[in-house]
């Protein structure tokens, strides 16, 4: 499936990495922590799966949502970069992104693969609808930024 248009034909899904500037802009507009252009340039083409939501408006097409899966394609998968531009939130786009990601993982991940994500703020409510559960106290998510930005 390469394209999927919703009922009012305003949104279309595409399954390829966004352009670097689109990725950086959407993360910023969605209030996410910035990533370096160098890191994004390296990382985007190495995604296991990508979905973008494109709004087809009067002023042309604009990517207003995205989500990615990264990992080794066997044992470990991580859901990252779930973002929807604020002006387009509340329309079920986050659910559409997660639905496509869930379908990909169910289709591709071997038995007993570990699928993880980090939920910011209230996003855990969305992810719980797709079977994600807090890992604590069994496991606690941890992070390390070897070269933090200034």
pLDDT single digits (tens) 78-125? 999 999 999 999 999 999 999 999 999 999 999 999 999 999 889 999
Which residue in 95, 106, 21, 30 sits closest to 64, CA to CA?
A: 30
Mean pLDDT of 54-71: 94
Average pLDDT, stretch 48-71? Answer: 95
Averaged pLDDT for residues 31-51 = 96
Cis previous bond, 28, omega within 30: no
pTM here is: 0.89
- Is the pLDDT confidence value at 18 over 60? yes
Q: Taking residues 30-36, what's their average pLDDT? A: 93
Gyration radius from the chain CA atoms = 15
11 contacts 56 by C-beta, under 8 angstroms: yes
Question: Which segments of the chain are extended strands (E)?
Answer: 4-5, 11-14, 49-57, 60-71, 76-84, 114-116
4-128: CATH topology? Aminopeptidase (3.40.630)
- Across residues 129-147, what is the average pLDDT? 92
> Starting at the edge strand that comes first in sequence, how are the strands of the sheet with 76-84 ordered?
4-5, 11-14, 49-57, 60-71, 76-84, 114-116
Q: Where are the domains of the chain?
A: 4-128
Q: Is the pLDDT of residue 75 over 70?
A: yes
- Token readout for 91 is 């329309």
Residue 4 pLDDT > 60: no
Q: What is the DSSP string of 11-31?
A: EEEE-SPPPHHHHHHHHHHTT
The pLDDT value given to residue 118: 94
Over range 58-73, report the average pLDDT. Answer: 95
Task: Give the per-residue pLDDT at 72.
Answer: 98
- Phi, psi at 30, each rounded to 5°: -85, 0
What is the reported pLDDT for 148?
Answer: 78
């Amino acid at each position: 499936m390469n394209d999927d248009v919703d009922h009012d034909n305003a949104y279309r899904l595409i399954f390829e990495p966004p352009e670097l500037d689109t990725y950086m802009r959407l993360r910023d507009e969605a209030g996410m922590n910035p990533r370096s252009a160098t890191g994004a340039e390296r990382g985007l083409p190495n995604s296991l799966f990508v979905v973008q939501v494109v709004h087809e408006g009067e002023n042309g097409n604009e990517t207003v949502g995205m989500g990615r899966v990264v990992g080794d394609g066997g044992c470990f998968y991580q859901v990252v970069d779930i973002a929807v531009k604020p002006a387009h939130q509340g329309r079920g786009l986050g659910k559409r992104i997660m639905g496509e990601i869930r379908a990909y993982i169910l289709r591709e991940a071997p038995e007993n693969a570990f699928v993880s994500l980090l939920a910011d703020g209230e996003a855990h409510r969305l992810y719980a609808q797709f079977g994600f559960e807090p890992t604590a106290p069994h496991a606690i998510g941890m992070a390390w930024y070897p070269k933090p930005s200034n």
